Structure 1
Amino acid sequence: MRINKPLYLVIAMLVFITLGLTAGCSKKAPETNPEPPAEGLGPEEPLESQDTGIMEGRTSGPMLPVYFAFDDSNITGDQVQRIEGNAAFLSESADVTIRIEGNCDPRGTKEYNLALGERRAQSAKAYLINLGIDSERLSTVSWGEEKLLLFGHDELSWAQNRRADFVIVK
């Protein structure tokens, strides 16, 4: 069967228009299946932390940042120990005021990441308040994906950027 040229052109144009409309209307969704690490990077590392005495993230020492799972704002696992250690420091230092900064990895839209960073900061604040820290000593801000620490496109970089920092302001 032979398709005449005008009909072929109409079909081709419809296909291109359909593809253009669907691609133009799509929104950037968080990537759920990241690419495997490039050769030579080594195995994926867990978020479990080891206290090395080195300042992490943008957190003021001796406090430690709290890291979050992808698209999550719950403080779980070994991160509970970190925030409890931060609460212990704040309990002993009654004159210290901090800003809790919520951060995200660069996947997702800017608006979504700002909201997620805010949920992370608020989650950390609520946790500290439940541990007895006065809410007047705590403020929050969300940086979303604006203040990345690592710029790689791999799970290690993304994991380091999904955090709440605790910054001494007074």
Structure 2
Amino acid sequence: MRIDKTFCLLAVMVLLTGFGLSGCGKKAPDVSSEMKSEGLGPEESLESKETEIMEGRTSGPMLPVYFEFDRSGVVGEQVQRIEGNADFLKSAPDVKVRIEGNCDPRGTREYNLALGERRAQSAKKYLINLGIAPERLSTISWGEEKLLLFGHDEISWAQNRRDDFVIVK
């Protein structure tokens, strides 16, 4: 007994079409508006808001300072950034800043904490040399604890090698 290929193909298509057209006959339950918003939190506007954070974790209008791999000196384009931060601090004599040293995740935890501290101290000394009173500046090292980007590539690592300048009250 031989079955024609066309007949088999037609039978399979009919079966698949039947399965596709048949579906769950139940209607989705009507959810009250109270339950729809449950767990979503308060409604927030999508309007743009002025924030105190501009780049990284740095308080605006200051900018973070970025470092080369395994370095703690403020060099190159970063000089202009730290000088801009000093200008802001000179214009706001009551503002105090915490300089937060950060590292990329390469290296041991201990090494990165020490490198983050050297970076924060380097920025503090630079600001003091530019005329900012030392009592307005504090430092902390986060090492690799406060990453901005979690990638394993040079772009991510470069964003994590930085000092953030955070206004403290």
**Per-residue CA distance 1:12-65 (angstroms, 9 max, x = gap):** xxxxxxxxxxxxxxxxxxxxxxxxxxxxxxxxxxxxxxxxxx811100000000
Identity %: 83
Q: 2: CA distance between counterparts of 1:87 and 1:93?
A: 10
* TM alignment of 1:129-144, pairs within 5 A: 129-144=128-143
Counterpart of 1:55 in 2: which secondary structure?
strand
Cα RMSD, aligned residues only: 0.8
Counterpart of 2:49?
A: none
What is the count of residue pairs matched by the alignment? 117
Residue 102 of structure 2 corresponds to residue 86 of structure 1 = no
| Aligned pairs for 1:13-92 within 5 A | 55-92=54-91
| TM-score for both structures, normalised by structure 1 | 0.68
User: Who is 2:150 aligned against?
Assistant: 151
- Write out per-residue CA displacement over residues 124-162 of structure 1, whole angstroms, 9 at most, x where no aligned residue: 000000000000000000000000000000000000000
Q: Secondary structure at the match of 1:74?
A: coil
Structure 2 counterpart SS, 1:128 = helix
Unmatched 5+ residue regions in structure 1?
Answer: 1-53
Q: In 2, distance between residues paired with 1:123 and 1:55?
A: 22
Higher strand share: 2
Q: Give the greater-gyration-radius structure (CA).
A: 2
What is the CA deviation profile of residues 61-87 of structure 1, one whole-angstrom value per residue up to 9, with x for unaligned ones? 000000000000000000000000000
TM-score, normalised via structure 2 length: 0.69
Amino acid of the structure 2 residue aligned with 1:141: I
Once residues 87 and 115 of structure 2 are traced to their aligned partners in structure 1, the CA distance between those partners, rounded to angstroms, is 26
1:125 counterpart = 2:154: no
Looking at structure 2, the residues matched to 149 and 66 of structure 1 have their Cα atoms a distance apart, in angstroms, of 14
1:167 Cα deviation after fit: 0.0
Q: SS state of the match for residue 157, structure 1?
A: helix
2:138 is paired with a residue of what secondary structure? strand
Letter in 2 for 1:102: G
The ranges of structure 1 where at least 4 consecutive aligned residues each deviate by more than 2 angstroms after the TM superposition are: none
Gaps of 5+ in 2: 1-52
Deviations 1:75-107 (A, max 9, x none): 000000000000000000000000000000000
